[in-house]
């Protein structure tokens, strides 16, 4: 199955819609999957797909180090890392020091810390694949989204730097950039911003050439592709799964 069978995959933000859909797709393709999330798995989502679960704050280096060591000891050295974990703070110039500290600690710092401790495992395996989730928000400016967009631009920069650094180790690093995807995070964002969910869905759909928001399954399929041998000559790239959002 495209070289994924038996591979060990770590998915951060694993209880979120995008992370969980990606984990489910990787399980279907034969991977052993570890869900990593700051929230407890109260719904038993890991059990439902026969995956492992680790609760960890990826913004805390000590927790990340312990978690990654535990993954190696209990499951094995990881071949695949999918960084979907994200903090959603949408503010412009009014963002506070606390806002910046919180979003940077997760979206940039957390992504970096998990990679720091998973990459040595990949080296032991002779290579691997890292998929960092950015967004169309990592390509364009959006009103009152400065905090979020800045981190998504940064993720693309990190990816290109890591692709150069890790190529000699046989580790590919790519960015997956979704457009608007209908998720709980989308709904929560609408509620935080005081927007009508149905109207915002129509507005968001109209932004895409395909005139709809994407599904988590479509994003998960793209992540599985980047993780697989089918993408063996792809590194340092941005894969847009945006329904034509940036083509308009």
Instruction: Measure the CA–CA gap between 10 and 43, rounded to whole angstroms.
Output: 19
- CB atoms closer than 10 angstroms to residue 103: 23
- The single residue of 148, 180, 182, 245 carrying the catalytic annotation is 148
Q: Is 148 an active-site residue?
A: yes
In 92-215, which residue ranges form alpha helices assigned H by DSSP? 97-104, 111-125, 146-166, 184-193, 197-206
Angle at 38 between CA 37 and CA 44, to 5 degrees: 55
Q: Are 149 and 137 in contact (CB under 8 A)?
A: yes
Instruction: Measure the CA–CA gap between 194 and 213, rounded to whole angstroms.
Output: 20
Classify residue 56 by burial, with Cβ atoms within 10 Å: 0-12, 13-18, 19+: buried
Instruction: Measure the CA–CA gap between 12 and 19, rounded to whole angstroms.
Output: 7
Structural tokens at position 244: 């034509």
Instruction: Measure the CA–CA gap between 226 and 237, rounded to whole angstroms.
Output: 10
**Where in the sequence numbering do the catalytic residues fall?**
148
């Amino acid at each position: 199955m495209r070289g994924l069978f038996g591979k060990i995959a770590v998915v951060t933000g694993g209880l979120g819609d995008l992370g969980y859909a990606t984990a489910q797709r990787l399980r279907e393709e034969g991977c052993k999957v570890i869900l990593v999330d700051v929230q407890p798995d109260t719904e038993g989502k890991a059990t439902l797909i026969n995956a492992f679960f680790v609760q960890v704050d990826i913004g805390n280096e000590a927790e990340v180090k312990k978690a990654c060591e535990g993954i190696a000891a209990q499951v094995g050295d990881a071949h695949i890392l999918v960084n979907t974990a994200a903090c959603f703070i949408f503010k412009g110039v009014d963002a506070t020091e606390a806002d910046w500290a919180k979003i940077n600690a997760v979206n940039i710092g957390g992504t970096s810390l998990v990679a720091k401790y998973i990459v040595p495992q990949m080296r032991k395996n002779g290579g691997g694949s890292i998929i960092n989730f950015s967004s169309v928000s990592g390509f364009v400016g959006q009103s009152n989204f400065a905090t979020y967009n800045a981190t998504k631009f940064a993720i693309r920069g990190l990816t290109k730097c890591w692709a150069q650094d890790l190529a000699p180790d046989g580790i590919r690093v790519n960015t997956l950039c979704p457009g608007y995807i209908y998720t709980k995070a989308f709904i929560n964002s609408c509620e935080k911003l005081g927007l009508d969910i149905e109207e915002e869905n129509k507005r968001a759909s109209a932004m895409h050439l395909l005139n709809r928001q994407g599904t988590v399954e479509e994003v998960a399929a793209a992540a599985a592709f980047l993780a697989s041998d089918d993408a063996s000559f792809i590194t340092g790239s941005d894969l847009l799964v945006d329904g034509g959002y940036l083509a308009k």
